[in-house]
C-alpha cells in the first residue's frame, strides 16, 4: 500500500485489514507511518508492516518490495496511492505552470506507480495471481486542471497497458478515479474555499457536496470499499478499466 500513512491509502489499508489481509504501509514519513500502523493495530489488524520509501527512487522502491516479500512470503496485492491530491495547490493556469511542476507530478504519480508495479509484477506472475489498483482521479475526465488531467490520464493509459501485458498471467490491473474525497485535508480545503469566495464554511461545504449526484462528497472509507473489491478474486472480470468512485458526476454520461 503506497501512500498508506493517510487519506485513501490508509482507509484502504484499514478495509483490507478488516478482510484479514496482512498489510504493508509504504510512505516517506516514518512518524506518520508509525501513527498509521498504530491505528490499524488498535483496530485489530492481524499483521501490519511499515516501510519507509520514496516512490521517486527506483532503488528504494525495489528495496521496499523486497522487504515486504521477505516478511510476508510474497506480494498478492499492490495499491498505488502515493500522490499529492489535485486540490493541494498545484498551479492550473498555463502562465503559472512550469516544466518542473509537470515533471514533479509525473515523477511521483505516473513513474512512482510504474516503479512499484514493475517491482511486484515478477512476484505476481510467478505465482499466477495478483491485483494492482492505481488510485488516480476524476480529473482524468475533466479539463479543469491541466496538470491534474494530464497525470491522471497518463495513469489510466499505463493501467490499460499493464493490464494487457499482465492479465494473461493472472494479474489484473485497474485504475480507480476518486473525486474530491472526505479526508483529514477536507476541513482546511473548505476553509480555503470559503475565504476565496468570501463566504462561510457551511456555504462552501454545500457547494462541494453539490458536485456529486449523491448530494455529498464521498469518504475515504467509501472509496476504499471500491478498491478492496478490486483487490479481491471476485473482480476478475474487470481488467484495464477505470472505475469512478466520486459519488457520481452531474450532467455527464460515460459509456
Those residues whose C-beta lies under 8 Å from the C-beta of residue 190, and which sit 6 or more positions away, are 201, 204, 205, 208
Q: What is the pLDDT of residue 202?
A: 93
pLDDT digits (tens, 9 = 90+) for 135-163: 999 999 987 788 888 999 999 999 999 99
Q: How far apart are CA 97 and CA 61, in angstroms?
A: 28
Fold classified for 7-179+217-245: Rossmann fold (3.40.50)
Look at residue 84 in the predicted model and tell me its pLDDT. 80
For residue 67 the three cell numbers come to 522487504
- Alpha-carbon distance of 53 to 57, in angstroms, equals 8
Residues 6 or more apart whose CB falls under 8 angstroms from that of 131 comprise 76, 77, 78, 171, 172, 173, 174, 230, 231, 232, 235
Burial of 109 (0-12, 13-18, 19+ CB in 10 A): buried
The residue ranges of every structural domain in the chain are 7-179+217-245
Question: Is the separation of the CB atoms in 241 and 174 below 8 Å?
Answer: yes
How far apart CA 239 and CA 185 sit, in angstroms, is: 31
Residue 112, C-alpha cell as written in the block? 512512482
Alpha-carbon gap, residue 176 to 220, rounded angstroms: 12
What are the backbone dihedrals phi and psi of residue 4, each rounded to the nearest 5 degrees, phi first? -85, 5
**pLDDT score of 88:** 59
Residue labelled with grid coordinates 491485483: 131
CA distance 21 to 231: 10
> Splitting the chain (255 residues) into consecutive groups of 10 residues, what average pLDDT does each group show?
95 96 97 96 91 97 98 98 73 80 92 98 98 96 85 96 98 96 86 89 92 95 98 98 96 86
- Residue 58 has a pLDDT of 97
For residue 91, the model assigns a pLDDT of 64
Amino acid at each position: 500500500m503506497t501512500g498508506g500513512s493517510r487519506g485513501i491509502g490508509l482507509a484502504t489499508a484499514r478495509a483490507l485489514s478488516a478482510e484479514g489481509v496482512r498489510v504493508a504501509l509504504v510512505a516517506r514519513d516514518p512518524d506518520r507511518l508509525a501513527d498509521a500502523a498504530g491505528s490499524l493495530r488498535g483496530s485489530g489488524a492481524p499483521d501490519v508492516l511499515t516501510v519507509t520509501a520514496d516512490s521517486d527512487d527506483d532503488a528504494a522502491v525495489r528495496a521496499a518490495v523486497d522487504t515486504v516479500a521477505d516478511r510476508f512470503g510474497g506480494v498478492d496485492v499492490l495499491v498505488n496511492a502515493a500522490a499529492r491530491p489535485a486540490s493541494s495547490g498545484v498551479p492550473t493556469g498555463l502562465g503559472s505552470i512550469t516544466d518542473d511542476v509537470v515533471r514533479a507530478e509525473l515523477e511521483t504519480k505516473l513513474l512512482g506507480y510504474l516503479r512499484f508495479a514493475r517491482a511486484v509484477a515478477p512476484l505476481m506472475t510467478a505465482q499466477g495471481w495478483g491485483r494492482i489498483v492505481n488510485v488516480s482521479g476524476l480529473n482524468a475526465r475533466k479539463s479543469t486542471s491541466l496538470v491534474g488531467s494530464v497525470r491522471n490520464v497518463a495513469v489510466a493509459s499505463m493501467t490499460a497497458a499493464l493490464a494487457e501485458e499482465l492479465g494473461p498471467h493472472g494479474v489484473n490491473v485497474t485504475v480507480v478515479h476518486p473525486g474530491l474525497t472526505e479526508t483529514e485535508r477536507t476541513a482546511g480545503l473548505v476553509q480555503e474555499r470559503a475565504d476565496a469566495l468570501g463566504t462561510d464554511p457551511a456555504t462552501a461545504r454545500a457547494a462541494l457536496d453539490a458536485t456529486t449526484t449523491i448530494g455529498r462528497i464521498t469518504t475515504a472509507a467509501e472509496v476504499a470499499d471500491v478498491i478492496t473489491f478490486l483487490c479481491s478474486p471476485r473482480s476478475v472480470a474487470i481488467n484495464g478499466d477505470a472505475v469512478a468512485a466520486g459519488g457520481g458526476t452531474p450532467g455527464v454520461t460515460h459509456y
